[in-house]
Structure 1
Amino acid sequence: MTPRARTLITRIAIGIGATLLVLILLLAMMPWGMFKGRAERALAERFDAPVTIGSIERTGWFSFNPMLDVRDLRIAQPRWAGDGAMVQVDHVAVRLPVLPILIGRVRPEPLAATNGRLVLIRAKDGRKNWDRRPERRSGGGGGLDSLMVRNLTLDYRDALKDRRAVLRVDSDDRGFRASGRGRLADEPIEIAIRGAPIAGSARWPFGAALIGTRTRIVAQGSTASPLDTRDMAFDLRARGNDLLDIDRVIEAGLFGTQPVAVAGRVSRKNDVWRIERLSGTIGRSRLSSAVATVDKGTERTKIDGTLRLAVLDFEDLANDRGRAIAAAKRAEAGPRIVPATRIDLSNLDDVDGVLKVKVDRLVSRYEEPFRKISATLTLDQARLTVDPFEVGMVRGVLGGRVVVDQRGGAAEPTLNLDLTLDGTTIGTLAGGGEIDATLRGMAKLTGTGETVRQAVGRSTGQVALVSGPGRIPSKLASFLGLDVGRGVFADEDAVASLRCLIVRMDVKDGTAQMNPLLVDTSRSQSRFSGTIDLATESLALSMMGSPKKDSILRLTKPVPIRGTIKGPEPRVPGEKTNVGGVLKMIGDAIAGDRPPLATDADCKGLAARAMG
């Protein structure tokens, strides 16, 4: 390089450096009030609403972090939110770091606000006047090095959750204070928030309480820096007459329950929430522990958690209104076996995750054979898989795999059941009774519906139950063989052997065809034909029975059985109930005009085919 070239480069470098120096000095001395109009336009574009500023004055003549005195700031409401101002403040002190402006970053830092009012509105459709860009997730406030507030009113109106609050906010050397009153639906509440002075970047301790006539929520913890709600941890205690009362505050999409009281530890790092040591009661149900991580950092919320309950009564998972509706439905539909549990996943179409659930003891005001539950729930793209799924009974286990699939925006979910029943007895399922025999079974069904009952009522597949050997009252065994004589005169305490009970139902579109239904005892054999409507659980069966020994009084025509699974109604043919019918049975016996006697069924082979 020639001396002339080096001289030229040196002059260019000096010129650039001098220009930058002059620019920096100009920024340090800039009379920022001249940019008031530009500031109004920038804020108006950001909030999509008219913005006016009375004046902007600089404090001091030279600084790389000049103080600006902004007076009479007013930001109007968006059109949908009505008239008036969203923000109206008499005086705002702002610090403006000027060096970042060189790289295109303008980041004013508010330091003080005096005599102002903020009106925050959320409409029924979810629009928020403080969040004009719904496609971006709003994550709460960031940290502040310092903030002094005097006589600031925060007016919050939420039509979506039906809640309202008006708070007076002050912050000075004595600390941060916000307090006021509001309501959650029809419940009046008082709100109080206290924190350390907003100064510096150290962890900021705070306490908050919401107290109502039904609801009480208390939080105590800290944020990474003052008012930095994206990095915080706190202990939470909550109580309400209904979990919906608490959900009006935390907005977790919860459901109605009996009175609830819970406590736990909550933390947040950016978009990841963590819940730990959660315990408490819902009605008479008792939550031992719960741990969960909720990640809202992407378009789909991800949940990973473990839930353990020492005691669970499913009726606690409905409030009084829900219980009344369920009771009315039970009264209208009558006793049912298949529950009306909702399985619609449309409200969870943007949630994925895994939840492990364990219930140590199930309780109910009804006689139920179920005692505990263990299950892993995996939700992926509107497809819920419960696998493994195991329900412990007084005796035996019901388990297998359950899948609820509502992918692709389906109007109704598809339910797939693949369940087995093992190690139990007929008496366990029946809640007692006189039959003592082992019982095992299986169910493979697929159907669509918003509830389990509706989906099973439209399902296709197979159901099987196999029982025996065991014991059965002799009187009942004789009647099953339509042996009226022995049934009437048998000893009440006499016992017969139940060789087997075989049930195989081929299900199509909610109609179950018996293939077969057979009861084989040491005294008789009965075969049932016909169908069961799984939508209503109504029976349309016909029973034909035969004794295994000669009988004087014997029915020889099929017995129709109507009613429901829970309440079967056998209907004995009319001609056998009068004197003439009885005399005819005796005459048939004397004349030898009677069907052949039953022989022992191939219980082992029938059981294998039924369960195959």
Structure 2
Amino acid sequence: MTIPENLPRIARPPRWHWLLPRIALALLASLAIFVLVLGAFPVGLMRGLVENRLSAALKTHVQVGSITRDGVFSYTPIVSVRDVRIAQPAWAGPGDFVRIGMARVRVPVFALLFGTFRPDRVTVDGARIVLIRDADGRANWKPDGPKARTSESTGPSLSDLTITNTQIVLRDAKRGLMIAGPLTVDATRGLRLSATGTFLDSPATLDLTGGRITGIDPAAPYPFAATLASPALHMTAKGQMNGVLDTRHFTAAIAAQAPTLKNIDRIIEAGLFGTQAVAVTGTIRHDGRDWYVDRIGGSIGRSRFTGMATVHKIDQRTAIDARLHATQLDFDDLADAKGQAVSAQRRATIGPRVLPPTRINLSKLWKTDGTIRFSADHLLSKGGTVFHSLSGTLSLDHKLLSVSNIVATLANGRMTGTARVDHRSGPPKLSVDLRLAGLTLEGLIGQPDIVGGQVRGHIVLSGQGDTVREALSHASGKAAIVATQGHVKRIVADVLGQNLSGAVVHAIGGPSQQVPLRCLVANFSATNGVLVPHPLGIDTGSSVGRGAGRIVLDGERIDVTLAGTSKSRALLRIADPIRIGGTLSAPTVSVAGAGTTDKPTPGALLKVFGRSLGQALGLTKTPPDIPIPPPATFGYERAVATALR
């Protein structure tokens, strides 16, 4: 039969219409076979792979005796690993880092398939773990390479953990902590670690307890408590983790007592310094990489303080935001016995100093930034101090330290201003800009019957050095004080005006008489640690004086001469000017060899009289060190404005 050519043709279905179903069926069959294989995978074949992978990751030899699984088919098999030995890294010496007799782990196969190994049930029996850290901080439990970031979203997964016949050994040379003891985790008592050894060469015990880990919700709060007891430090922490063994997220109440703050720093490693005996309590939180000190308080020596702080880790840097308040503060408490002994030896060698030896080298803080607001209500000092309280704000940014809003109150008046340490390059550079206000001469000198008056001042200095003392010993700038509207004892004014006859008359007839102190200006310009008066002038109701000389901050030596003239006719002038010497901590004053005591000897007074009489008669000539000012005031208003500028 012939088919007509003009009939329509029936279209054939495309090839992919019948090919796709067959491909899908093959894929489903392959997936089913793969899933079945996963459920019955012979894990023993992985022993060599596990050894090689662990050896490469830990950079040491790893040996696994056997790997088996319980049951023929399961997607959450119990995998048993026996006779595991992980050698110590070469730098830690011979021996094993980890030895495990037997470990049983329930492994979620599909989670492992997607790259996460989070077992929920673990049993360990017959293990010994030796943790080693050297003095430089290198630890066998930390990888040598870059630190891997831990996902913040990864929560706890352990619902069951049992550990028996296990020994933990810790040899931490950086902390000075060497302990060993048994670790158990069971359904009855929970987690227990009782270790003994030494801390800083003193006998020590470490007790760590936690809740049971048997049939629990891994994300439920997990309680823990830890105590380190030693003559060098007694420290306790009690709180709860956000989940089982979640050491990255917890809250705890802490308490610590130690002979020095440096011993506590051995444990927390915050870069703290040596102090007198310390006792603190507080509440802390750890959230990922960040720390929160919600409350802290206690004592260091006889200092008492409270505070709070946050410590954030941002990349490789640490950012601190803290508030510290001391009801009383003794700066001597901020040095331990060794530091105080060094200071005492230094004082015995070079004598007492006014400029503090406070270290300002910031080389160890190159990864630290932050702000600390501090205040001290009452300052203490064994030798006494003119300062009553202190407050300010300390800011640190890439080795640039700024102290702003400084307020230091004195017995009368206060000091305000700023200070800065720049250690971004070269030696530390110290700059201070301080103003004095509300002070009185009688308060500073402690002799209200001799002199009194309102004092103001302005200090602007900058220099380089590792300590405040060293930096100011090479500082340049200015240091000025002025006093106005005061009084001075008449006999002192006579001595200033080199009026010997007036001094004798008033010493006999009016020893308590006073005259106005119109103005005192001491404006010192500083160059490389040497202060030169520019000017040094005094105007009283009966005399005018000018000064010359210098103060050398390197050694704090004073060499200043005051020469003056009386505003009234002097029948007999004192031959020599007043000389101020000694040091800033122990200044001396002498007039023509009369000595530096409050009550000159008769011989010294006769010497003054003889030299002055000889000069008056033309028998001796003693040219003054500085020009004697005329018996009239000079432009003190302008001098005061310049000094306080």
The residue aligned with 1:21 is: 32
For the pair 1:103 / 2:133, whether they are aligned, the reply is no
Task: Please tell me the residue identity of whatever aligns with 1:219.
Answer: A
The residue aligned with 1:221 is: 239
Task: Please tell me the residue identity of whatever aligns with 2:607.
Answer: T
- Retained in 1: the 8 A contact 2:180–2:195? yes
For the pair 1:46 / 2:57, whether they are aligned, the reply is yes
The residue aligned with 1:470 is: 486
1:540–1:307 distance in 2 versus 1, CA, 3 Å: same
1:264 Cα deviation from its structure 2 partner: 0.5
The residue aligned with 1:211 is: 229
The residue aligned with 2:633 is: 600
For the pair 1:368 / 2:385, whether they are aligned, the reply is yes
1:597 Cα deviation from its structure 2 partner: 5.3
For the pair 1:180 / 2:195, whether they are aligned, the reply is yes
1:557–1:4 distance in 2 versus 1, CA, 3 Å: same
5 Å-filtered alignment, 1:142-153, equals 143=156, 144-153=158-167
Task: Please tell me the residue identity of whatever aligns with 2:556.
Answer: E
Select which of 145, 169, 176 maps to 2:183: 169
Give distance in 2, aligned partners of 1:164 and 1:186.
9
Give distance in 2, aligned partners of 1:67 and 1:286.
57
The residue aligned with 1:510 is: 529
Select which of 294, 307, 314 maps to 1:276: 294
Runs of 5+ unmatched residues, structure 2: 1-11, 594-603
The residue aligned with 1:536 is: 555
- Retained in 2: the 8 A contact 1:88–1:118? yes
The residue aligned with 2:466 is: 450
Give distance in 1, aligned partners of 2:565 and 2:302.
51
Task: Please tell me the residue identity of whatever aligns with 1:31.
Answer: P
Which moved further from structure 2: 118-127 or 555-564? Answer: 555-564
Encode CA deviations 1:115-135: one digit per residue, 9 max, x unaligned.
Answer: 111111111222111112353
Select which of 415, 426, 447 maps to 2:441: 426
1:586 Cα deviation from its structure 2 partner: 4.9
For the pair 1:160 / 2:177, whether they are aligned, the reply is no
Give distance in 1, aligned partners of 2:643 and 2:422.
28
Give distance in 1, aligned partners of 2:632 and 2:258.
65
The residue aligned with 2:597 is: none
- Retained in 2: the 8 A contact 1:208–1:218? yes
The residue aligned with 2:614 is: 584
1:462 Cα deviation from its structure 2 partner: 1.4
The residue aligned with 1:384 is: 401
For the pair 1:267 / 2:267, whether they are aligned, the reply is no
For the pair 1:305 / 2:322, whether they are aligned, the reply is yes
1:154–1:298 distance in 2 versus 1, CA, 3 Å: same
Task: Please tell me the residue identity of whatever aligns with 1:363.
Answer: L
5 Å-filtered alignment, 1:393-432, equals 393-408=410-425, 410=426, 412-431=427-446
Encode CA deviations 1:68-99: one digit per residue, 9 max, x unaligned.
Answer: 11111110001110000000111111222211
Structure having the higher Rg:
2
- Retained in 1: the 8 A contact 2:164–2:183? yes
- Retained in 1: the 8 A contact 2:524–2:534? yes
- Retained in 2: the 8 A contact 1:549–1:597? no
1:177–1:184 distance in 2 versus 1, CA, 3 Å: same
For the pair 1:133 / 2:147, whether they are aligned, the reply is no
Encode CA deviations 1:100-151: one digit per residue, 9 max, x unaligned.
Answer: 3433445556601111111111112221111123531788997333221112
Task: Please tell me the residue identity of whatever aligns with 2:438.
Answer: G
1:234–1:79 distance in 2 versus 1, CA, 3 Å: same
The residue aligned with 2:259 is: 241
Give distance in 1, aligned partners of 2:155 and 2:134.
25
Give distance in 2, aligned partners of 1:18 and 1:311.
79
For the pair 1:545 / 2:564, whether they are aligned, the reply is yes
Percent sequence identity is: 35
1:547–1:439 distance in 2 versus 1, CA, 3 Å: same
Encode CA deviations 1:163-182: one digit per residue, 9 max, x unaligned.
Answer: 21112100010210001112
Residues paired across the two proteins, number: 606
Instruction: Describe the SS at the equivalent of 2:332.
Output: helix
Select which of 506, 517, 536 maps to 1:498: 517
Give distance in 1, aligned partners of 2:66 and 2:159.
25
Select which of 2, 6, 19 maps to 1:8: 19
Select which of 495, 502, 516 maps to 1:486: 502
For the pair 1:461 / 2:477, whether they are aligned, the reply is yes
1:432 Cα deviation from its structure 2 partner: 5.3
The residue aligned with 1:81 is: 92
Encode CA deviations 1:497-541: one digit per residue, 9 max, x unaligned.
Answer: 211110111111111111011122112222111221112111232
TM-score, L = length of structure 1: 0.94
1:486–1:335 distance in 2 versus 1, CA, 3 Å: farther
1:187 Cα deviation from its structure 2 partner: 1.8
1:13–1:284 distance in 2 versus 1, CA, 3 Å: same
Instruction: Describe the SS at the equivalent of 1:332.
Output: helix
Runs of 5+ unmatched residues, structure 1: none
1:5 Cα deviation from its structure 2 partner: 2.1
Give distance in 1, aligned partners of 2:526 and 2:44.
81
Compute the RMSD of aligned alpha carbons: 2.4
- Retained in 1: the 8 A contact 2:487–2:516? yes
1:336–1:601 distance in 2 versus 1, CA, 3 Å: farther
Instruction: Describe the SS at the equivalent of 2:398.
Output: coil
Give distance in 1, aligned partners of 2:637 and 2:232.
61
1:24–1:429 distance in 2 versus 1, CA, 3 Å: farther
Task: Please tell me the residue identity of whatever aligns with 2:542.
Answer: R
- Retained in 1: the 8 A contact 2:279–2:299? yes
1:493 Cα deviation from its structure 2 partner: 2.0
- Retained in 1: the 8 A contact 2:529–2:554? yes
Task: Please tell me the residue identity of whatever aligns with 1:513.
Answer: V
- Retained in 1: the 8 A contact 2:359–2:466? yes
The residue aligned with 1:251 is: 269
- Retained in 1: the 8 A contact 2:80–2:103? yes
Instruction: Describe the SS at the equivalent of 1:407.
Output: coil
Which moved further from structure 2: 370-379 or 541-550? Answer: 541-550
1:330 Cα deviation from its structure 2 partner: 2.4
1:435–1:17 distance in 2 versus 1, CA, 3 Å: farther
- Retained in 1: the 8 A contact 2:281–2:296? yes
1:196–1:105 distance in 2 versus 1, CA, 3 Å: closer
Encode CA deviations 1:29-79: one digit per residue, 9 max, x unaligned.
Answer: 101011101101111111110000111111111111211111111100011
